[in-house]
């Protein structure tokens, strides 16, 4: 049962009444249809303006629709359950400044599509402002993610990298210019972000990660870690895993494997960790990781392949799950799963998933 005070249809919603049925166009290519031979639903939709109270609305309808108006509450329940309604009295914007409301207006409208009438869309933007994120890596994916996180309205970011800008980075690392070559990425990124997101608190740390303790020292008060570092190739993910599991911090990872963009995540205490994943994979067959430990293994002679459309897709996957995790508007896909995009077919699918291993040496106590 709804608890509406001053309802209206969501402002981005389009609808059409043909004299017999009303069609709400919420999803592409389909419409929500309702029979409306008397025009009652159409009249309710026209009258609800976010100003009129429920009793005023009922009063106006009772003259023109003396029989149908008794069904007003039932109709509003249905419209609310299908996410077509909002209640202007529930949307309390006091948690944000006027500047915030303007800068993130389109975000807030997006959140409005996910909120039922008694939920506050502004509070979801506030969640983004409040979360503390550590971003490991300011290379291909990391340079996009830093801009994107700030664009989303994330206000507390810790960005860690040790590298300098090189000419060959500029096919994909959009934070940097040719004049930045040979400068530290953290220094250049700091300058860019001071202009793009002056209200955000972004800490730039120039540090080469070489063990899990290096990660631990930075993440202890953070809410989530995003890792897009790929060096050292076989060990960095174990360090992220160990540090994040120890401090019970969820993490989202992104990587490339030839023509695949890969996103996978761990929620300590809920999903299996990276070690659990490896144990699961070993049951099926030998892991690449295990081959890489063998004598005679031939290591790659060139760095990972990386091309800009792929980077944009990978960062899109990471940010999609980040946004779902922070706001709760929908269920993240990659937690305890390997979510992959295939460049050839453009298929996006979960290609592996893993359970928590009760004997896992890393996460059994979480
Ligand atoms: Zn584990």
Write down all domains in the chain, each with its CATH number in brackets.
1-89 (3.90.930.60), 131-353 (3.40.50.720)
Calculate how far, in angstroms, residue 358's C-alpha sits from the geometric centre of ligand 1: 8
- What pTM does this model have? 0.90
Calculate how far, in angstroms, residue 318's C-alpha sits from the geometric centre of ligand 1: 21
Sign of torsion over alpha carbons 166, 172, 175, 177: positive
* Edge-to-edge strand ranges of the sheet holding 156-161: 201-206, 156-161, 132-136, 224-227, 251-257, 260-266, 337-342, 348-353
3-state class (DSSP) for residue 340: strand
Kindly report the length of the chain: 366
Are 207 and 134 in contact, with CB atoms under 8 Å apart? no
3-state secondary structure 30-80: CCEEEECCCCHHHHHHHHCCCCCCHHHHHHHHHHHCCCHHHHHHHHHHHHH
- Cα 138 to Cα 166: distance, rounded to the nearest angstrom: 13
Please give the average per-residue pLDDT across 188-200, as a whole number. Answer: 97
pLDDT value of position 1? 66
Calculate how far, in angstroms, residue 361's C-alpha sits from the geometric centre of ligand 1: 7
Contacts of 359 (CB under 8 A, 6+ apart): none
pLDDT, tens digit (0-9, with 9 covering 90-100), for 86-133: 988 887 889 999 999 999 999 999 999 899 888 899 999 999 999 999
- Cα 181 to Cα 165: distance, rounded to the nearest angstrom: 5
Asked whether residue 55 carries a pLDDT value surpassing 70, the answer given is: yes
Asked whether residue 226 carries a pLDDT value surpassing 90, the answer given is: yes
Calculate how far, in angstroms, residue 253's C-alpha sits from the geometric centre of ligand 1: 16
Calculate how far, in angstroms, residue 295's C-alpha sits from the geometric centre of ligand 1: 27
Percent of the chain, pLDDT > 90? 77
Calculate how far, in angstroms, residue 244's C-alpha sits from the geometric centre of ligand 1: 11
Calculate how far, in angstroms, residue 364's C-alpha sits from the geometric centre of ligand 1: 6
pLDDT value of position 342? 94
Calculate how far, in angstroms, residue 9's C-alpha sits from the geometric centre of ligand 1: 46
Asked whether residue 321 carries a pLDDT value surpassing 70, the answer given is: yes
Calculate how far, in angstroms, residue 136's C-alpha sits from the geometric centre of ligand 1: 21
pLDDT value of position 289? 67
Are 245 and 366 in contact, with CB atoms under 8 Å apart? yes
Strand-pair category, 224-227 with 132-136: parallel
- Cα 218 to Cα 134: distance, rounded to the nearest angstrom: 8
pLDDT value of position 261? 93
Asked whether residue 4 carries a pLDDT value surpassing 90, the answer given is: no
Most confident of 76-90, 112-126, 263-277: 263-277
Question: What pLDDT band is residue 20 in, cutting at 50, 70 and 90?
Answer: very high
């Amino acid at each position: 049962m709804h608890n509406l005070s001053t309802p209206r249809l969501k402002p981005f919603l389009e609808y059409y009444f043909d004299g017999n049925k009303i069609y709400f166009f919420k999803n592409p290519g389909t419409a929500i249809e309702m029979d409306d031979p008397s025009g009652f639903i159409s009249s309710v939709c026209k009258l609800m303006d976010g100003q009129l109270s429920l009793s005023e609305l009922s009063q106006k309808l009772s003259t023109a629709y003396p029989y149908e108006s008794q069904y007003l509450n039932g109709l509003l329940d249905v419209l609310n359950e299908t996410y077509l309604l909002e209640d202007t009295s529930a949307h309390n914007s006091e948690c944000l400044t006027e500047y915030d409301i303007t800068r993130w207006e389109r975000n807030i409208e997006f959140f409005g599509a996910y909120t039922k009438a008694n939920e506050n869309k502004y509070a979801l933007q506030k969640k983004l402002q409040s979360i503390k994120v550590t971003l490991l890596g300011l290379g291909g994916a990391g340079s996009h993610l830093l801009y994107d996180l700030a664009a989303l309205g994330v206000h507390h970011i810790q960005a860690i990298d040790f590298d300098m800008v090189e000419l060959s980075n500029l096919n994909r690392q959009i934070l940097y210019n040719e004049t930045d070559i040979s400068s530290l990425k953290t220094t250049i990124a700091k300058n860019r972000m001071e202009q793009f997101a002056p209200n955000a608190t972004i800490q730039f740390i120039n540090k080469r990660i070489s063990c899990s303790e290096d990660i631990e020292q930075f993440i202890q008060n953070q809410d989530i870690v995003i890792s897009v570092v790929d060096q050292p190739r076989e060990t960095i993910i174990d360090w992220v895993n160990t540090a994040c599991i120890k401090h019970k911090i969820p993490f989202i990872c992104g990587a490339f494997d030839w023509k695949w963009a890969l996103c996978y995540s761990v929620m300590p205490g809920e999903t299996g960790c990276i070690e659990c994943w490896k144990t699961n994979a070993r049951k099926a067959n030998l892991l690449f990781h295990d081959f890489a430990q063998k004598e005679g293994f031939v290591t790659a002679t060139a760095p990972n392949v990386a091309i800009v459309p792929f980077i944009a897709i990978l960062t899109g996957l990471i940010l999609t799950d980040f946004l779902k995790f922070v706001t709760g508007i929908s269920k993240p896909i990659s937690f305890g799963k390997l979510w992959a995009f295939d460049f050839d077919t453009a298929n996006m699918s979960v290609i592996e998933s893993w359970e928590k291993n009760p004997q896992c040496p890393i996460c059994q106590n979480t």
